[in-house]
Structure formats: structure tokens, C-alpha cells
């Protein structure tokens, strides 16, 4: 399952993921799903509602560990996440939301270029309640990029 051309930061091999049902049964939501994503590559999970896209992402993130199979991510590096909803803290400004995952020397990083790229210049002191949904999503994206992740989901 190695992609040609360099390191593979993500390898997914899910043999089965099932959820318990009422009455003691099981609902299998994923079976025999395998893929790898090479460094610098993009991949999309596409399918109809209910086919397991979000479940797959939750497994990759480690938010759900109850499955049969393996998921290998790089030992070093960080995983950035942009959820379907922005998930911003309403009591923190745009800048403080973006800096939330940063620590140490990165906590004071110059994010001017990132804000300019995402059209957030001048909005650093705004609060989430003052933003449109589109702008809030850009803030969530900025937070993920500010982390300089080796894997972005």
C-alpha cells in the first residue's frame, strides 16, 4: 500500500467498522477500505450521505478507535483538522482562535501572510459572532494551516 515517489504520511487499512444496534446487533458501516496518501498529495473521500466518510475521518483522527484494521500516520508532525462546522470559541478573537493550537515559539508567529491569503486581514480582533459562516470557516482553515501540519484533514 505504498504510494510511489516518497514517504507516505497516511496509510489506512480498515477491515471493518461496526456500530452496535438496539437488540444486540451490529451495523457495519465500513468494510475493506484501504488507501494511502503520499507526501504533498491530495485525496478526497466522496460518496453519498451515510456511506462512512465522516466515520473514516474520525478513525484517522483517533476520535474513534473501535475498528478492525490499522491506520498509520507519521510519528512526528502534527495533524490539522477543519471540521464541517467552524468550531470556533465564541469568547476568543479571530487571532486567538487561530493561535489556539500553537505553543512555544510558534505561539507568537507572524500570521500576517496567512491572514492575507485567506482574506482575513483586518478581522483579527473580531469575534466569531461577528463573522459570516464563510468567514468563520476561513478562520477554522487558518487555524489548521497555522499549525503547519504534516497531515491536514
Domain range summary for the chain, segments of one domain joined by +: 10-75, 80-152
Q: Grid coordinates representing 6?
A: 516518497
CB 74 within 8 A of CB 150: yes
**Whose CA is closest to 144, among 98, 108, 107, 105?**
98
In the chain, % of residues over pLDDT 90: 73
18-63 pLDDT, tens digit each = 999 999 999 999 999 999 998 888 899 999 998 999 999 999 999 9
CB 70 within 8 A of CB 36: no
In the chain, % of residues over pLDDT 70: 93
Amino acid at each position: 500500500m505504498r504510494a510511489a515517489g516518497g514517504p507516505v504520511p497516511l496509510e489506512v487499512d480498515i477491515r471493518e467498522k461496526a456500530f452496535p444496534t438496539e437488540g444486540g446487533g451490529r451495523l457495519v458501516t465500513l468494510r475493506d477500505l484501504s488507501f494511502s496518501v503520499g507526501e504533498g498529495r491530495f485525496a478526497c473521500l466522496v460518496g453519498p450521505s451515510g456511506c462512512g466518510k465522516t466515520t473514516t475521518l474520525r478513525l484517522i483522527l483517533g476520535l474513534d478507535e473501535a475498528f478492525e484494521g490499522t491506520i498509520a500516520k507519521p510519528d512526528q508532525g502534527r495533524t490539522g483538522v477543519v471540521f464541517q462546522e467552524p468550531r470556533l470559541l465564541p469568547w476568543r478573537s479571530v487571532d486567538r482562535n487561530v493561535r489556539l493550537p500553537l505553543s512555544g515559539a510558534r505561539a507568537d508567529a507572524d500570521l500576517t501572510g496567512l491572514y492575507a491569503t485567506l482574506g482575513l486581514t483586518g478581522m483579527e480582533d473580531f469575534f466569531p459572532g461577528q463573522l459570516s459562516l464563510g468567514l468563520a470557516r476561513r478562520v477554522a482553515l487558518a487555524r489548521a494551516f497555522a499549525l503547519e501540519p504534516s497531515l491536514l484533514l
